[in-house]
Amino acid sequence: MALLDETLSRILVCPADRADLSEDEAASRLVCTECGRRYPVRDGIPIMLIDQAEPPTDE
């Protein structure tokens, strides 16, 4: 099951760099495909605030 409604997931972008987001269903978050910031999804609501995003990981 997807984290977000399909329509919403198509229009959301990273607020930091406007890149696409991918869903990390296991961790309940959206991950920026460019900068790697991770935005939490709480009760089906994406928290798209840069200051509340988890920083990118160095993998």
Q: How many domains does the chain have?
A: 1
**Global pTM exceeds 0.85:** yes
Tokens (6 digits) for 51: 């200051």
1 part of a folded domain:
no
34 part of a folded domain:
yes
pLDDT digits (tens, 9 = 90+) for 1-51: 688 988 998 999 999 999 999 999 999 999 999 999 999 999 999 999 999
Q: Is the pLDDT of residue 59 over 90?
A: no
DSSP string, 25-58: TTTTEEEETTT--EEEEETTEE---GGGSBPPP-
Q: Give the bridge partners for 18, in sequence order.
A: none
Q: What is the pLDDT of residue 46?
A: 96
* Cβ atoms of 9 and 2 closer than 8 Å: yes
Q: What is the CATH number of the domain that holds 19?
A: 2.20.25.10
